[in-house]
Structure 1
Amino acid sequence: MSSFRIHAALFLAALIYAATYSLAKDLMPGYIQPQAAVVWRIGGATLVFGLLKLLTAPGERIVGAADNWRAIACGVLGIGLNQLAFFQGLSLSTPINASLIQTISPIVVVLASAVLLGERITPPRLLGIALGACGAAALVLSRPPSGKVAADALAGNLFLLFNATVFALYLVLVAPLMRKYHAFTVLARIFLVGAAVVLPVGLPQALHTDYGRFPAYIWAELGYMVLFLTILAYLLNNWALKYASPNLLGVYIYLQPVLAVLIAVALGKDVFTLDKAWQAALIFLGVWLVGRNWRTASAKPKPAAVPAEATVE
């Protein structure tokens, strides 16, 4: 497979995710409430992945009580709670804070793997967890330079931290399903479960949204959330996973927040300060220590899919 195509797929996926942080600020909460935006995103993706499942794996089903309960847990954590927390947090926080907080997901994956799968945490990874936690805590508690009410920013950052945590748990839980079933079989099921979680919360807001006051660019940004962020970026990432090395995938984990910062500053949606620089440095160093394959006699190499999926929202 052409290396150019692999890099292009990973870069385009990272760019899609990075642009989301700034574009979503146009939508929320001025035109649409966060929960209503989630209904559009999850509802659209549920229909698309359901159709793709019928086309690619029409006869396949998730079987067995254990796998079905795992799929329900993945839908609740990785789709329902994850998306509700992400959009609520982004509506209250800033694009740069949101993009940086997302990078702690690989750290939470390692912790969840240790608790749920019994994997050993080496001293360098333990140091990485501590550094990443310090950087994330400083970022969550930081005051925005724009003068926005600190309580709102703190609540937003906490929502984003919760989002990164439940998504990391989802990554650990969904891996066995992805290895056992067709990807669209799993996605169709977990998005259906996620829709069942999201609709009771967000449908009232979606129905009471005044869509008549949406200018054309707001409709375009809402379509971007459904088609590009939820569907295209996932397909690009998972196609690239088949051919890319773990080291290459790790590079694009770091690229996403860099792109998000550049886009947010260029569009005037946020300001990159020295405080955010050292907080980001702590998080990046922590993620690097956690993600590096420290070869010891008792340590097992980390699966390539875990760090790569950490960029997926």
Structure 2
Amino acid sequence: MKTRTLALIAVFIGTFIYGINYTIAKAVMPIYVKPFGFILIRVLGATIIFWILGFFIKTGKIEKQDYKKIAVASLFGVALNMLAFFKGLSYTSPISASVMMVTSPIMVLIFSSIIIKKPIAKKQILGVFIGLIGALGLITLGSTTSTNSSNNTLGNFLVFVNAASYGLYLVLAKNLIQKYHPILFVKWFYLFGLIFVIPFSSAEFLEIDWTTIPTHIYWNIGFVVVFTTCITYLFNLYGLSKLKPTTVSVFIYLQPVIASGFALMVGSDSLNPIKIIATLIIFLGVYLVTDQQKKTSK
């Protein structure tokens, strides 16, 4: 099998895992594990796994001046990103959350223009406004018939904060990811993240009654730690090493499709006109942003 085909399969598997993760993680929260407590489980598990891998793989060392940069990237890429996402997902529905995450490329463009002074074309500015209008519509008007969604507006807003935080992380970490071995970077990245989330998550973590958690929920927790956090990172990294970034970025459009299909299949969510219209508006905005980026890179 060709290397390109393997890379495409790896990225698709990563996208598929992200897509079904919305429903799988939603089943855990907040009934069995509260959102911040779940974050501590996820980050602690990932930190242990990546540090164990680090003992078996020669990765070099981090330069002294870069520890601070990794810590800042971890603040937005692990702490704020995950805390906002899991808290938001506990309030909103899997479909709404997956659609909101598609705004990440828009946030990357905005932060790139602010931090590294990257010029923005008129078409991209239009895309930003259209995408943000769609996101705002989903935040304020989006509703769901799911009984598990207690505060859809707050939940959608928090998932949007998560998308913005993740976009900022991508801008801050770009040079670091290229500079260091993936395992070396990610083991320190998650270690700093663990330090950041402990003050916010420890109380909810200590409240977990492990004896009352059903076996299938343990499997859900394990899926989030091993597959959503570790496997997807490694698969996407492999994809990025073999494919163009623009090719990999296209797969973000599949996340809401997979998330919606899986959520509807297991009956954890439903569609309504607001979700559909907001989704189309956001997709149009992201298309205008990423289409211009492709033309610029060419």
| Fold conserved between structures, TM > 0.5 | yes
Task: Give the letter for the 1:154 counterpart.
Answer: T
Per-residue deviation at 1:148? 5.8
Amino acid at match of 2:211: G
Distance, in Å, in 1 between the alignment partners of 2:220 and 2:63 is: 34
2:224 maps to which residue? 225
CA deviation map 1:43-73 (0-9, x unaligned): 0101111222232235412322xx2221111
Q: 1:42 to 1:294 in 2, by over 3 A?
A: closer
Match runs of 1:256-271 below 5 Å = 256-271=255-270
Q: Which amino acid aligns with 1:87?
A: F
Cα shift readout 1:199-250 (whole Å, capped 9, x = no counterpart): 1211221122111011110000000010000000111111011112344323
Q: Contact 2:93–2:149 (CA<8 Å) still a contact in 1?
A: no
Amino acid paired to 1:183: P
2:138 corresponding residue in structure 1: 139
Q: Write the letter of the residue equivalent to 2:233.
A: Y
Q: Any idea what SS the aligned residue of 2:151 has?
A: helix
State the alpha-carbon separation in 2 of the partners of residues 113 and 90 from structure 1.
Answer: 27
Could you tell me which residue of structure 2 aligns to residue 306 of structure 1?
none
1:17 aligned residue: 18
Aligned partner letter, 1:264: A
Deviation readout 1:156-195 (Å, 9 max, x if unpaired): 1111111111110000000111111111121111111110
Name structure 2 gaps, 5 residues minimum: none
Question: What is residue 47 of structure 2 aligned with on the other side?
Answer: 46
Tell me how large the CA RMSD over aligned residues is.
1.9
2:69 alignment counterpart:
70
**Cα gap change, 1:185 to 1:150, in 2 (>3 Å):** closer
Q: Superposition pairs for residues 1-313 of structure 1, below 5 Å? A: 1-57=2-58, 59-64=60-65, 67-146=66-145, 152-293=151-292, 300-301=296-297
Residue type matched to 1:15 in 2?
F
Question: Which residue number corresponds to residue 310 of structure 1?
Answer: none
- 2:150 and 2:28 map into 1 onto residues whose CA distance is 21
Count matched residues. Answer: 297
CA gap 1:79/1:255 in 2 versus in 1, 3 angstroms: same
Deviation at 1:4, TM superposition (A): 3.0
SS of corresponding position for 2:264: helix
Task: Decide whether the 8 Å contact of 1:22 with 1:269 is kept in 2.
Answer: yes
Name the amino acid aligned to 2:256. Answer: P
Alpha carbons of 1:24 and 1:294: their partners in 2 closer, same or farther (altered >3 Å)? Answer: closer
Which region of structure 1 is more displaced relative to structure 2, 269-278 or 239-248?
239-248
Please say if residues 140 and 157 of structure 1, whose CA atoms lie closer than 8 Å, have aligned partners that are also in contact.
yes
Q: Is the 8 A contact 1:143 1:150 kept in 2?
A: no
Distance change (3 Å), C-alpha of 1:301 and 1:34: same
Q: Which amino acid aligns with 1:60?
A: K
Q: Output the TM-score relative to the length of structure 1.
A: 0.90
Give unpaired runs (5+ residues) of structure 1. 303-313
Once residues 147 and 160 of structure 2 are traced to their aligned partners in structure 1, the CA distance between those partners, rounded to angstroms, is: 19
Relative to the length of structure 2, the TM-score reads 0.94
CA distance in 2, matches of 1:190, 1:247: 25
CA gap 1:104/1:60 in 2 versus in 1, 3 angstroms: same
